[in-house]
Structures are given as structure tokens and as C-alpha cells.
Chain A
Amino acid sequence: MGFEKFGWVSFASQTKVSKFVEYLEAGKIYGTKCLECGLIQFPPRAYCLQCLSTNFEWTLLSGDCELITFTKVEAAPTSFKEQAPYLLGLAEFSEGPKVLAWIDLRIPEENLKAGTKLKLKPSRLQNGNLSYLLTSPNLR
């Protein structure tokens, strides 16, 4: 249990990496690091993508990332109607892995482009659930 608290709507409740949500609650963003091959992974994985090892440790991520691509969603699914419009972005961490998340709506869409420096920060949603948000390093 624990994973049901992740995201505006969570579609899964149980996972071996639900500790991620506890870290998020404590204001930290953690990935996993494989102790066999050294691969740093985000989203966290209990089985390494590269070698399928289950021998991993949690590793704190800086949150520093660069935008790869993004979109503003105007036509939202039923369960996200009240959230629309929202900015969805894909970014790459300075540590290597990638993240898909909402982008802070305080950043004007026209200021975004591939390569824009962003910071991934933990966030709490209006329904009390936990998430993370791509925001500008200068915004609080």
C-alpha cells in the first residue's frame, strides 16, 4: 500500500517501490540505483532495466532537469476535467534518467522550449495526494 497517494488519480496501490511516496512526503525526490550495474533509474524500479537485478539502493536526485518536449492539454480526460488546461512536459535529469510531469502553469507556454532548465520539486495536490512538478529553478 502507499502508492494510491501518488498523483491526481492513482491507478495502482501496491508496488515494491512505494517508499518513493514516503520520500516525496518528506520533500525529497529519490530514484533507484542498481547495486549490480550502477544504473540510476527514474521512475524508481525494483528490477533493474539493464540487468534485472533486485539489488538496489535509493538515491537522492537533484531535481535539476532540461526540458525535452511538452504540450498544453486543452481536451482532458473525464477524471482530469477540473485540472485542464495543464502543461505536460518530458524532461531529462542531470543524473541521466527522464521524468514526465506537469509543468508549473506560472511559466508562460511561450517561454518553454527544448533545453529550458527546470527543477523537479515535490508537490501536494488539492485532493491531498502527492506528486511532483516541473517548475522554474527561480520560482518558489
Chain B
Amino acid sequence: MGIGQTKFGKIPDTSSRELVAEAFKEALSDAGLSRKDISTLIVSSGTHYDKQRSPAGIMAEYLGLNPIPTLHVEAACASSGVGVRVGWSMIQAGLHDVVAVVGFQKMTELDAAEVQDVMSRSGDVMWESPFGTTMPAYYAMYARAHMDRYGTTEEQLALVSVKNHMYGAKNPYAMFQKEITIGDVLSSRIVASPLKLYDCCANADGATCIILAAEKLARKFTDAPVWLAGLGLASSPMSLTNRSEFASFGCSVLAAKQAYKMAKVTARQIDVAEVHDSFTSAEIMNYEDLGFCKRGEGGKFIEEGQSYIGGKMPVNVDGGLLAKGHPVGATGAAHIISITKQLRNEADASQVPNAKLGLAHNIGGIGMYAVCTVLRAS
């Protein structure tokens, strides 16, 4: 119904509530609604990047939405992807007819090492965080498992970053709007071997807002709503010690299956996808988990350019997290916003011709949650 987002990146002199207000105003205006039309507010973010506890309270107040219901939804990097699912459920249950879902994160008040401190506690704090685990370290271990098993190379990983930065250069909302070369990626400093700086997304500030409406109302407000056609959500063990697979995210496979089934589509029918590329290796694993290519052929998929516009499945043609930046709580909704633009034919320089069906995929934390949303054009 309505979409809005701030630019992502280091946004100085702006608080999280101000970021949220900007995204919310844009979504209201996009939907042609006013505040009195909103019947509930879902606020999504990761915790501990700022000091505010129970952020739904301050956001509902700052947006002038009291006394409507409000609540906070947290699923680490998948917070707002899950927030959209919660909003959809409320509408389906008949509790509310117009739901605003906002996602936000203000990350740049902490330095990179402090953010690592927060993020390391997205792993098991009893048995893993005491070893100084980090988000890149976990994904590096998955990357190595994929490389070991399928022969995926560091060059193939680098190609993902090259593609996403190429598209990011066309996206005015992206944190990095500059193309890079494979050499830039390969020569960047190691963060957690084999992952290098340009294999990793950047911490960012940003907010997003999506306004969902019941079918009847959506048809009344707009001629061409974009429909949530399929939803999937699944979990995997948080601890690596209780996982059996490291070259794939089991929760992604399940969430995608659920979403495809509900939308009555197959992966092949999807015209454009936004997947969780917090790291280059994750994008390659996602190609396989979401059914864009066979197991083990993710490296070849990017090498052949199949995830560019014109390839078998255009992926992250808005720049992905690698170029856009990754304001944790805002990311899931940002994926859905990019797909919505594609399906409305409003994606400008990165428009996939004739896109009718899109997939937004969002992973939480170190791969313990995955949410998939299939969207359909009117």
C-alpha cells in the first residue's frame, strides 16, 4: 500500500525517532493516507545498538499515534521482515485493517568494534560468545564450509560484491554509490578469513516503513496495490554445535518452500529477488537455498552473471546490503520496499523489465531465522 525509507548510511545529527518519522511520513504520503487511518503500529529493530528500551513506546508517541496499539518485534536482522508477517497476521485475523510496520536502526553511535560486541551476543552467550565470535566470523565459517564442499572460490565471492556495488551506484538511497572491481575486493583487508572487508556489509543508520491494508481497503485506496502473495518463516539452531549443515541455511530453505507454496509459484517463476547478502558468501548460499540454481552451483551462478538483470534471476539489483548498508532492523522491510518498486515499475535505473512476481528474503542473526515474502503485482 505505502512504502517509505530514509537514505541508509552514516546519518549524522539524526536520532532513531527522527529516522522513523521520515520513513513513516514518506509511506503515508505514498499510500495517500493520514495518521488517523492507521489502526496499529509495529516497530521492528535489533536490540542494544542504542539505549532506548521498549522502542515501540517512544515511536508511537513521536509519530503522534497514541492511543492505537503498538508493539515491538525483534528477530535480529530479520526484525522488520518478521514485523510485516505479524502485521499481515493481524489483518488476516480481522483485528486491524491498516497496519504500519516501521523498521529502524541507529548503529553509527557505536564504533565498529562496539557493534561487534553487540552482535557477538547474537550467538549463544553461554557457549560461543565467550570465544569472541563475531557476525563475520560465523559467516566466514559457513563460507569456508561452502568452499570446502563445492570448490567455491574467493573470486566468485568477490564477484557478488562487484555486482551489488554496480547496482548500488544507481541507487540514491544506498550507502556506497560507487562501483568497485574484483581487485578492490580481493585486496581489501581480512576481517575473518576468508572474508575480506568488501565481502562484508557495513553498519548503517536507516529506517523503513511499510503500510499494509486489508484487501478491500487496499482496492479502495489504490488502483494497483502490490499483494503479499506468500509468506514463510522458519528457524535453525542458534548454536553451531546443534546444526548439522554449514554450507546452507536450513531455515531459508524451509521459509522459501512455505512462501512459494502459499503463493502457488515455483522459484523459476520469480522475476526479481532481494536476498540477504550481509556477506558475499551468504548471497551465493541463498541462490541455492532459495532454488535459483542447483546445490553447489551458487559460485557458478554469479560467475555466469545469472544474478544480473538479463540473467536467470536478477538478485539485489538495488545494491543489496553490501552497497546499501545494513541498518539491522530496517533491512527486512527495505527488501520488501525494493521489490514493491520493481512490481510497480518504479525501480528506475535498476528496473527488471515486466517484473510481476518478486521474492524478498531476510535472514536473522547468524542464520537462526529466515523470512521469505513473495509479492505479486496487481
Point out the residues of chain B lying under 8 angstroms from A131, CB to CB: 130-131
Smallest beta-carbon distance A15→chain B, Å: 7
Point out the residues of chain B lying under 8 angstroms from A101, CB to CB: 131
Smallest beta-carbon distance A21→chain B, Å: 11
Q: Which of A74, A81, A90, A113 contacts B246 (CB 8 A)?
A: A90
- Main DSSP-derived SS at the A contact region: mixed
B134 touches A73 (CB 8 A): yes
Smallest beta-carbon distance B154→chain A, Å: 13
Smallest beta-carbon distance A115→chain B, Å: 9
* With contact pairs A77-B120, A90-B141 given, residues A15 and B126 touching in the complex (Cβ less than 8 Å): yes
Q: Is A29 an interface residue (CB 8 A)?
A: no
- Which one of B57-65, B111-119, B216-224 is at the interface? B111-119
B121 touches A75 (CB 8 A): no
B190 touches A74 (CB 8 A): yes
A-B pair number, CB within 8 angstroms: 119
A11 touches B126 (CB 8 A): yes
Tell me the bound Cα distance from A99 to B121 in angstroms.
Answer: 17
Point out the residues of chain A lying under 8 angstroms from B193, CB to CB: 71-72, 74, 109
- Which residues of A76-90 are within 8 A (CB) of B? 76-81, 83-84, 86, 88, 90
* With contact pairs A68-B145, A69-B144, A69-B148 given, residues A8 and B131 touching in the complex (Cβ less than 8 Å): yes
Point out the residues of chain A lying under 8 angstroms from B142, CB to CB: 69
B113 touches A77 (CB 8 A): yes
B130 touches A6 (CB 8 A): yes
* With contact pairs A42-B241, A90-B141, A113-B148 given, residues A8 and B132 touching in the complex (Cβ less than 8 Å): yes
Q: Is A100 an interface residue (CB 8 A)?
A: yes
B145 touches A75 (CB 8 A): no
Point out the residues of chain A lying under 8 angstroms from B239, CB to CB: 43, 100
Q: Is A138 an interface residue (CB 8 A)?
A: no
Q: Is B192 an interface residue (CB 8 A)?
A: yes
Tell me the bound Cα distance from A8 to B242 in angstroms.
Answer: 22
Q: Write the chain B residue with the least CB distance to A71.
A: B140
Point out the residues of chain B lying under 8 angstroms from A117, CB to CB: none
Tell me the bound Cα distance from A11 to B117 in angstroms.
Answer: 12
Point out the residues of chain B lying under 8 angstroms from A8, CB to CB: 130-132
Smallest beta-carbon distance A95→chain B, Å: 13
Point out the residues of chain B lying under 8 angstroms from A71, CB to CB: 137, 140-141, 144, 192-195
Q: Which of A9, A72, A81, A88 contacts B113 (CB 8 A)?
A: A81
Tell me the bound Cα distance from A71 to B195 in angstroms.
Answer: 9
Point out the residues of chain B lying under 8 angstroms from A73, CB to CB: 132, 134, 136-137, 192
Smallest beta-carbon distance A1→chain B, Å: 14
* With contact pairs A49-B242, A109-B193, A114-B148 given, residues A11 and B130 touching in the complex (Cβ less than 8 Å): yes
Point out the residues of chain B lying under 8 angstroms from A86, CB to CB: 131-132
Point out the residues of chain B lying under 8 angstroms from A75, CB to CB: 112-113, 116, 134, 136, 191-192
Q: Is A97 an interface residue (CB 8 A)?
A: yes
Point out the residues of chain B lying under 8 angstroms from A79, CB to CB: 117, 132
Smallest beta-carbon distance B244→chain A, Å: 9
Point out the residues of chain A lying under 8 angstroms from B132, CB to CB: 8-9, 73, 76-77, 79-80, 83-84, 86, 88
Q: Is A30 an interface residue (CB 8 A)?
A: no
Q: Is A105 an interface residue (CB 8 A)?
A: no
Q: Mark A106-128, 1 if CB is under 8 A from B, else 0.
A: 00010001100000000000000
B241 touches A102 (CB 8 A): no
B240 touches A100 (CB 8 A): yes
- Which residues of B130-162 are within 8 A (CB) of A? 130-134, 136-137, 140-142, 144-145, 148
Q: Is B108 an interface residue (CB 8 A)?
A: no
Smallest beta-carbon distance A80→chain B, Å: 3
Question: What is B's interface to A at a CB cutoff of 8 Å?
Answer: 112-114, 116-117, 119-121, 125-134, 136-137, 140-142, 144-145, 148, 189-195, 239-242, 246
Question: What is A's interface to B at a CB cutoff of 8 Å?
Answer: 3, 6-12, 15, 42-43, 49, 68-81, 83-84, 86, 88, 90, 97-102, 109, 113-114, 131
A-B CB contact pairs (8 Å), 8 listed: A11-B125, A68-B145, A71-B137, A71-B195, A77-B120, A88-B141, A90-B141, A102-B131
Closest 3 A-B residue pairs measured CB to CB? A7-B130, A80-B132, A71-B140
